[in-house]
Chain A
Amino acid sequence: MSWEKLEIRTLKDTPKEEYYVAGHRTCQGCGPALACKFLAKAAGPRAICITATGCMYVANCSYNTTPWAIPWMHAQLGGIGSAVCGAAAAYKAMMRKGKIKKEEIHVIGLAGDGGAADIGLAAISGAMLSGHDHLIVTYDNESYANTGIQASSLTPWGAWTTFTPPGKMLRLGNVRVKKDLPKMIAAGHPNVRYIATASTSFPFDLMTKIRKGLAVKGPAYVQIHTPCPKGWKFSPELLVRVGRLAVDTGMWALYEIEDGQFKLSYKPPKRKPVSEYLKLQGRFAHLREIDYRYIQEQVDAACKQLGIE
């Protein structure tokens, strides 16, 4: 293992070193950028990170000003699964054949929700079956934010995006239900030993999950809920609060599926009404009480299934 401890529970367990530093040009209060910071911190210097096209490419890694202190490379929008497979296979073959030194190199693939759940879904599925040692991380900011906030299959029901604008005829905005990608990966790839969800508002939990995903043999998957002030239309200083409320209302659940065993990572002591979360965000500003009630019903049912009261 590359680290002294697998689990990061306190600030004391958290490495001081940063491997994702200045040099990026993401928006104020960017959730995905925070995810990169925690991810790199947890993974440490013996890792490489490949990032699919998206905010964390275009707004993140610019020529001559890279924020990555670990090796980094761009993959095509739908290519993250393929990229990590290629990298992991390369190290594996070259080490086995004595072409490079035998050691642990962590291979991380990072993609946005569009890159992971839409255009790159087949390649991620392929990567999950390949048996190579890598971790795929989705930063889920619930839209194609880099191209100007278009709906992805992880955009929640009722959200405004530029592809799903509420109007006189179509008042609801996005009417597709958010795809359950972690469960889809779990259901379809029984060989995958570690699948987890995380949130940038729960950094210790997030960093521990990154390490567990890297430590497990074979492919692993972590999906991080990363609020996006620009796309969700909230003030940047509310980033952590919005992320926290998503979990506290049950709109986003934190869990792990380890060797097929489902386990909640965090149970909100008393679940807050979804309207508290929705009303902070301009993307839901067009919704009415009846819509809040509908979303509440959906969330209640989903929470019940997950064992969250």
Chain B
Amino acid sequence: MVKMITTGTTAIATAVKHADVDVISAYPIRPYTGVMNSLAKMIADGEFDAEYIVADSEHTQFEIAKHAAACGARVFTGSAGIGWAFAHEALVVTPADRAPVVAMVGNRALDDPGNFGVEHTEALITRDTGWMMCWPENPQEAYDMTLMGYKIAEDPSVLLPYVVCCDGNFITHVRFPVDLPETEVAREFLPPTPPPRINVLHPDKPLSIAPHVDYYWGAEIRRQMDQGMRNAIEVTRKVHEEFYKVFGRGGPPFVEEINTEDADVALIGMGGMAMPAKAAIWQLKKEGINVGYVKLRRFRPFATEDVVNALRKFKVVAVLDNDFSFGAANYGGIIFQEVRSALYDVPERPKVVNYLIGLGGREITVNAMRSICKQVKEIAETGVVKETVQWVGLRE
């Protein structure tokens, strides 16, 4: 094990090397590009062997990845912001072709107005298409979840693409202490060749992939994708156990609870915002105020059972969305809609409120988190929700 101080993109590049990826397709866009820079240098220095394709667009990147995966190769690609949006046609067919592509998104606000800051919206727009999506909190988790991603995506009962979504700048560029294993140790967990599957293009076994179906079989094929996503829940649990056996870490598969035992209210959010949230929570605990934080680690598949079990005991839950969904129910964010829906069948469910925070890449401060915690405590005490959805830190 090598402990080093490094960025999220370098950590992910190391995971890609450890996975012995065969084909990489690259196209530049901040803030994800660092991962491709690292990989190019690793290949140039002979650290590992892969076909590195300099693509002409993000659409091309993801078409390359899909077809290389269809031929049985292990692949890696990625993008950010409007680049991910540009790739969208290729993105939506990848799960339908059951191609276990693994990608990275460096979360970035969509244009216009141009913005390098982090927002989760670009990746979340893909949430309905069959991509498995996870949000690491830091570069360590980014490494871990990338390596796990190959094992989950390539499981014959899943065969869906997988994306590691990293907050732009805060995870992609910030240096952080990371435990990186030796290659052999990583390969003990993830062998260099994916398990065999039937849908591989090769002259030895001719088959036609993705023919035209119309209404005759379209519904059944969608249902199979749905089943793949359902299977991914148990496969993810199993992969986390296997990861723990080799590395002694990895965390819970779907939700991580922080300071939830004695709290009657909690915040829930994804990605790097866990850091200021935890800082606020520990400060408040010293001041005698107890607030829990529930870190949603994976958004697709959405582990309804785990989320409900984590949240059902609270009086109030505040969902922190670093995204938007203009015109949605209550004008709330995307995670808010999902969490509220998951809690609907709980007989005595918590009140669920929503904070849109960090939009446009504005820093999510400890003070902002403290203020949210206090507001949520007040709702728990008074039972009154003044505003269901609030934008945090907006100028007048």
* A-B interaction: yes
> Which residue numbers of A lie inside 8 Å of B, CB to CB?
45-48, 50, 57-58, 60-64, 66, 68-76, 78-79, 81-87, 89-94, 96-97, 99-100, 105, 122-123, 125-126, 130, 132
A89, B211: Cβ atoms closer than 8 Å: no
Supply 21 A–B pairs (Cβ within 8 Å), ascending by A.
Answer: A47-B203, A62-B212, A63-B211, A63-B212, A71-B206, A71-B208, A72-B206, A72-B208, A76-B93, A79-B60, A79-B90, A82-B59, A86-B23, A86-B25, A87-B71, A90-B70, A90-B73, A105-B203, A123-B60, A126-B55, A126-B60
- Cβ–Cβ < 8 Å partners of A69 in chain B: 206
A71, B201: Cβ atoms closer than 8 Å: yes
CB nearest to A25 among chain B residues: B212
A62, B213: Cβ atoms closer than 8 Å: yes
Q: How far is the CB of A216 from chain B (nearest CB, A)?
A: 20
B57, A123: Cβ atoms closer than 8 Å: yes
B217 beta carbon closer than 8 Å to chain A: yes
B234 beta carbon closer than 8 Å to chain A: no
- Among B67, B72, B206, point to the contact of A50 (Cβ < 8 A): B67
| Complex Cα spacing A269 to B134, Å | 67
Using a CB-CB cutoff of 8 Å, which residues 50-84 of chain B contact chain A?
50-51, 53, 55-57, 59-61, 63-73, 75
A73, B208: Cβ atoms closer than 8 Å: yes
- Cβ–Cβ < 8 Å partners of A82 in chain B: 55, 59-61, 63-64, 67, 90
Q: How far is the CB of A248 from chain B (nearest CB, A)?
A: 36
- Cβ–Cβ < 8 Å partners of A45 in chain B: 203, 206
| Complex Cα spacing A71 to B23, Å | 20
- Cβ–Cβ < 8 Å partners of B210 in chain A: 73-74
B59, A86: Cβ atoms closer than 8 Å: no
Q: Among B65, B192, B212, which residue has the most Cβ atoms of chain A within 10 A?
A: B212
- Cβ–Cβ < 8 Å partners of A68 in chain B: 206, 208
- Cβ–Cβ < 8 Å partners of B326 in chain A: none
Known contacts: A48-B203, A86-B23, A123-B63. The answer to whether A96 contacts B53 by CB under 8 A is no
- Cβ–Cβ < 8 Å partners of B68 in chain A: 86-87, 89-90
Q: How far is the CB of A161 from chain B (nearest CB, A)?
A: 23
A122, B56: Cβ atoms closer than 8 Å: yes
B321 beta carbon closer than 8 Å to chain A: no
- Cβ–Cβ < 8 Å partners of B212 in chain A: 57-58, 60-63, 74
- Cβ–Cβ < 8 Å partners of A99 in chain B: 22, 72, 192-193
Known contacts: A61-B208, A86-B23. The answer to whether A71 contacts B202 by CB under 8 A is yes
Known contacts: A63-B211, A99-B22, A125-B56. The answer to whether A76 contacts B51 by CB under 8 A is no
Range, interface on chain B: 35 or more
- Cβ–Cβ < 8 Å partners of A60 in chain B: 212
Known contacts: A86-B23, A130-B53. The answer to whether A70 contacts B59 by CB under 8 A is no
Q: Among A61, A62, A75, A82, which residue has the most Cβ atoms of chain B within 10 A?
A: A82
- Among B57, B67, B205, B207, point to the contact of A90 (Cβ < 8 A): B67
A123, B59: Cβ atoms closer than 8 Å: yes
Known contacts: A70-B203, A74-B209. The answer to whether A87 contacts B60 by CB under 8 A is no
Q: How far is the CB of A299 from chain B (nearest CB, A)?
A: 34
| Complex Cα spacing A293 to B193, Å | 63
- Cβ–Cβ < 8 Å partners of B381 in chain A: none
| Complex Cα spacing A14 to B207, Å | 25
| Complex Cα spacing A130 to B25, Å | 11
A62, B211: Cβ atoms closer than 8 Å: yes
Known contacts A83-B63, A84-B67, A99-B193, then 17 further A-B pairs from the complex at CB < 8 Å, ordered by chain A residue: A62-B212, A73-B209, A74-B210, A74-B212, A76-B63, A82-B55, A82-B59, A82-B90, A83-B66, A85-B64, A86-B25, A86-B68, A87-B68, A97-B20, A99-B72, A130-B53, A132-B51
B338 beta carbon closer than 8 Å to chain A: no
CB nearest to A48 among chain B residues: B201
| Complex Cα spacing A1 to B231, Å | 44
A89, B63: Cβ atoms closer than 8 Å: no
- Cβ–Cβ < 8 Å partners of B75 in chain A: 86, 90
| Complex Cα spacing A97 to B72, Å | 13
A79, B59: Cβ atoms closer than 8 Å: yes
B348 beta carbon closer than 8 Å to chain A: no
Q: How far is the CB of B16 from chain A (nearest CB, A)?
A: 13
- Cβ–Cβ < 8 Å partners of A50 in chain B: 67
- Cβ–Cβ < 8 Å partners of A81 in chain B: 60
A122, B201: Cβ atoms closer than 8 Å: no
